[in-house]
Structure 1
Amino acid sequence: MKLSLAIVALALAVPTASYAQDSTAVSSNGKYPNTFSSGSANVSPFTQKSKRFNDWAISIGAGVPLVQSADLTSIKNGNGKNLFGYSAYISIDKAITHAFGINLQYDRGETRQGWFNTKDAAPADASKYQQVAGRTQYDAISILGDINFSNLLRRVDNHSPYRWALHGYAGIGTLAYKAYQKDETGQRLMTEIKPFKLGSFFGQAGAGLKFKVNRRLDIEGRLMYVMTGDDEFDGGGAQYSAVNQREEQVSDNFFNATLGLSLKLGKHESHLMWHDPLQEIYYKLDVLANKNQDIEVCKKGDADNDGVCDDWDRQLDTPAGARVDGAGVALDTDLDGVIDLYDKCVTVPGPVENNGCPTATTTGPVTDDTRTLEGIEFDLNSDRILPSNTPILNNAVSYINSSNGAYNVVGATDTRASDAYNQKLSERRANSVKSYLVKNGVESTKLNAIGKGEKDLKYPECDPATKCPEWKNRANRRVYFEAK
């Protein structure tokens, strides 16, 4: 028998919904799931072994710094000409999530600013027009936060893979530098700042565009804006010098444009920063939806054609046309031993020889010295009456009340657990059924609850040494009635 994917999904969803309360329960045994977890049955500790993605990388790059906001600038805007320095960086990158990481970065470079390149000779009239030049050699160590905007802002309906990613960076660090100034009188050191001093702290922020070359290598173009917090970084000299009074700002800032490479470390195929969780979910759903799954059930067929596969049919010779329960057993509504198919009085018990109807000669209550009612089954290690048993028990109430006889309510178990445990469990099951019957109108004097443990099996072949199918074990876990 072939079932469509939709039917299989529905079949899987029904038991899932039935046991939803158990699956979300919080365990207190000290193991996962626990009170600090979501309660999901699939929770497991996150360890190095369970990681699926690489999350470390080393990045290097080089570029050009341009002093933009200062008394001497690298950009032709009134305080200098277009002068280009050089810069380089190396960083160790750690991805925390698919959208956020932390980088430890070292920068080294030299900015050039003012009216001429300090490598050249100063103009003859440099001091007259204050056409001075400056250059600053710097080293910086900083901690940068890394936000992957491409992952963070990715549309939920975008199923396509991507090789470009926009990153945003921001962080603080310590900046050490030597700032030189040059005019027609020569070049001299104006300011020197040591690292890790109070005045050496700086901030930087910017953006980068990455391209994934392969699983190991990325190329990135990056533009950062560095805020030194220092008015002497450009080589203008002391705070109130003639050069440093040209502009009112107190922080000499510069752009740093770089091109770099990132080497992703680790044994896994993919890096965490290139992983899109939504894309993975959509991919798996698409694979599941497009996969042609031919699921074969009823490998043994349905010999009696009752709609219940022989794999779990407990009555393989059901007569044609008989209504059956979920286990393939023909229904006997009034529990008189005549299945509904042949019972002329479906709701009223009667002898077999009279097609399930009371005999015409019977004017009083029905009597039966040999009548056996059964079919009340229990879950493993439980004496709780199942909702599916209540119709059978309600019919038993009617039958026993219509009979002059008394009955033994006999409890039984399967062969699992010890004899002593099974004996007590069978007694509890018998008393549970007796209590239900009395509560629903049966005289307690008509009932005697006894337990037989595992000594009266419906399927005796299920001894402790034999592994029986579960439906046979369930049939052995029962309560039945015997006429006294």
Structure 2
Amino acid sequence: MKLSLAIVAFALAIPTLNFAQDSTAVSSAQQYPNTFSSGSANVSKFTQESKRFNDWSISAGVGVPMIQSADLTSIKNGNGKNLFGYSMYVSVNKAITHAFGLNLQYDRGETRQGWFNTKDAAPSDASVYQRVGARTQYNMISILGDVNISNLLRRVDNKSPYRWALHGYGGIGTFGYKAFQKDEKGQRLATEVKPFNLTNLFAQAGAGLKYKINRRLDVEGRLMYVYTGDDEFDGGGAQYSDINKREDQISDNFFNATLGLTLKLGKHESHLMWHDPLQEIYWKLDVLAEKNQEVEVCKKGDLDNDGVCDDWDRELNTPAGARVDGAGVALDADLDGVIDLYDQCVTVPGPVENNGCPTTPVVDPGTVKEEEKMLDGIEFDFNSDRILPNNTPILNNAVSYINSSTGVYTVIGATDTKGTDEYNQKLSERRANSVKNYLIKNGVGKEKINAVGRGEKDLKYPECEPAEKCPEWKNRANRRVYFEAK
């Protein structure tokens, strides 16, 4: 099963290697976008000529392996002393994206483990338990996934050159080895596994810290942990030998610390693993900046000077000073056919012959009737002088009525009994002035309107003192503005 998964993963990686990088070339063919692509019809097939960065490299390094988990170890206080072996590796590396790549790696080395170095004679004064040493010569081939952790986490909102990068590695492979055991009787071959048999699989994972020396060379310190899955790798002998019964684990595993160099191949300045994803955007913006971006707008000009080009102006003879919409049509807020520039009652519909104001019967300039002295009241929210939207029809009617009358009107503001007398007096004045300003803004002459505030001294419902005695609708009715004719 492990072997099958490895073959499938490798097979899937082959087409990925060929098509992973984005192309910077464009196509001039006008056709419907490919629904299996990014959706753009202006993207050409990726080729070696279109890519702008290198993605192949080779690495080599040397290091020190130390068996950590076994019946015979290379680490003191385990089943052995601190014994250092040697190792080397060579790999061919392919960057698929700026954050992921695949490495085909060959490792060769020798671990030394047990209670003495096999180059030395077995100690005669040690206990029987400690009169054993071993060394293992190994060869390994593996496929490693390479995750550029720094490119996943680093900020990419600047153009600063990168020098350091943290990588994570992990993968599987096949190995062979010769394990030699030595005691007071001498040295002998304990176990031999022929190299590169596909049934002898191992796994390794770890991390490395890279430093970019220049555009061609990187130096990397790496620490890997190798899981062999083999209980005889340490040189302890057969599976049920006395030495191999010292520990229960069935896999002899080791650390491998290495220092290596990476040579980046290719003709381009940048390598994909050192590539800022935004650099392509910077490059494309630079290319666009060098192109002629002059776009001629408003070819026909703006004949009526309304701020809307004649190319899309629906009204080419807008009067000077009139406000227009996005299509160049003069605004008519009340939709009465008289544009706001000429409409004397902007918010109240009226015929053209009356300059956009409604026509009303001529009012007798004589005595004002009792029912005409007071118009409908305008109510307010608590502690507010803002005119509510539902009051605008009343006020618009008041505009028409006052304009058609020869009398002078007083806007009177009032409040409920909540709050102090002094505060309520000022609030009532603000309410009266708010209504007065609305009337003047909508066509009432300043000479025909005054405003006064009476605070809480002019209650529509006098029984609401204090306010807690009355329901809210009565208190709301007390918070009002009304009109009086002089």
Bucket of the pairwise TM-score, normalised by the shorter protein:
0.5 to 0.7
What aligned pairs does 1:422-437 form with structure 2 within 5 A after superposition? none
Change (3 A) 1:192 1:30: farther
CA contact 1:226–1:254 (8 Å) conserved in 2: yes
Query: In the alignment, is residue 245 of structure 1 matched against residue 245 of structure 2?
Result: yes
Aligned to 1:101, what secondary structure does the other structure show?
A: strand
Task: Give the TM-score, by structure 1 length.
Answer: 0.54
Q: CA deviation at 1:43?
A: 2.0
CA contact 1:181–1:188 (8 Å) conserved in 2: yes
Aligned to 2:83, what secondary structure does the other structure show?
A: coil
Q: CA deviation at 1:222?
A: 0.4
Query: In the alignment, is residue 265 of structure 1 matched against residue 265 of structure 2?
Result: yes
Matches of 1:157 and 1:127 in 2, distance apart?
64
Match of 1:153 in 2: 153
Please tell me the residue identity of whatever aligns with 2:91.
S
Change (3 A) 1:325 1:85: same
Change (3 A) 1:116 1:50: same
Q: CA deviation at 1:326?
A: 3.6
User: Structure 2, unaligned stretches of length 5 or more?
Assistant: 1-28, 320-336, 338-486
Matches of 1:313 and 1:252 in 2, distance apart?
84
Tell me which moved more, 126-135 or 81-90. Answer: 126-135
Change (3 A) 1:191 1:127: farther
Q: CA deviation at 1:153?
A: 1.6
Match of 2:310 in 1: 325
What aligned pairs does 1:247-326 form with structure 2 within 5 A after superposition? 247-278=247-278, 280=279, 312-313=299-300, 325-326=310-311
What aligned pairs does 1:373-452 form with structure 2 within 5 A after superposition? none
Matches of 2:40 and 2:245 in 1, distance apart?
66
Aligned to 1:277, what secondary structure does the other structure show?
A: coil
What aligned pairs does 1:444-483 form with structure 2 within 5 A after superposition? none
Please tell me the residue identity of whatever aligns with 2:82.
N
Aligned to 2:230, what secondary structure does the other structure show?
A: coil
Matches of 1:266 and 1:86 in 2, distance apart?
32
What aligned pairs does 1:143-222 form with structure 2 within 5 A after superposition? 143-155=143-155, 157=157, 160-197=160-197, 199-222=199-222
Structure 1 segments, 4+ long, off by >4 Å, are 29-32, 156-159, 281-288, 293-298, 318-324, 327-330
Q: Once the two structures are superposed, what CA deviation does each residue of 1:73-129 show, in whole Å capped at 9, x if it has no partner?
A: 111023111111100000000001111000000000000001110001111245723
Q: Once the two structures are superposed, what CA deviation does each residue of 1:14-60 show, in whole Å capped at 9, x if it has no partner?
A: xxxxxxxxxxxxxxx99673232232243221121111110000000
CA contact 1:32–1:43 (8 Å) conserved in 2: no
Task: Give the TM-score, by structure 2 length.
Answer: 0.54
Change (3 A) 1:117 1:94: same
Q: CA deviation at 1:152?
A: 1.2
Q: CA deviation at 1:223?
A: 0.3
Q: CA deviation at 1:204?
A: 0.2
Please tell me the residue identity of whatever aligns with 1:325.
D
CA contact 1:126–1:132 (8 Å) conserved in 2: no
Matches of 2:64 and 2:37 in 1, distance apart?
49
Q: CA deviation at 1:331?
A: 3.3
Q: CA deviation at 1:160?
A: 3.5
Match of 1:304 in 2: none
Q: CA deviation at 1:155?
A: 3.1
Change (3 A) 1:295 1:56: closer
Matches of 1:66 and 1:261 in 2, distance apart?
22
Matches of 2:232 and 2:52 in 1, distance apart?
49
Aligned to 1:53, what secondary structure does the other structure show?
A: coil
Aligned to 1:244, what secondary structure does the other structure show?
A: helix
- Give the greater-gyration-radius structure (CA): 2
Please tell me the residue identity of whatever aligns with 1:109.
G
CA contact 2:148–2:168 (8 Å) conserved in 1: yes
Match of 1:43 in 2: 43
Match of 1:99 in 2: 99
Match of 2:69 in 1: 69
Change (3 A) 1:231 1:199: farther
Change (3 A) 1:325 1:106: same
What aligned pairs does 1:27-38 form with structure 2 within 5 A after superposition? 33-38=33-38
Work out the percentage of aligned pairs sharing the same amino acid: 73
Matches of 2:102 and 2:110 in 1, distance apart?
26
Match of 2:60 in 1: 60
Matches of 2:305 and 2:158 in 1, distance apart?
55
Equivalent pairs, count: 291
Q: CA deviation at 1:313?
A: 4.0
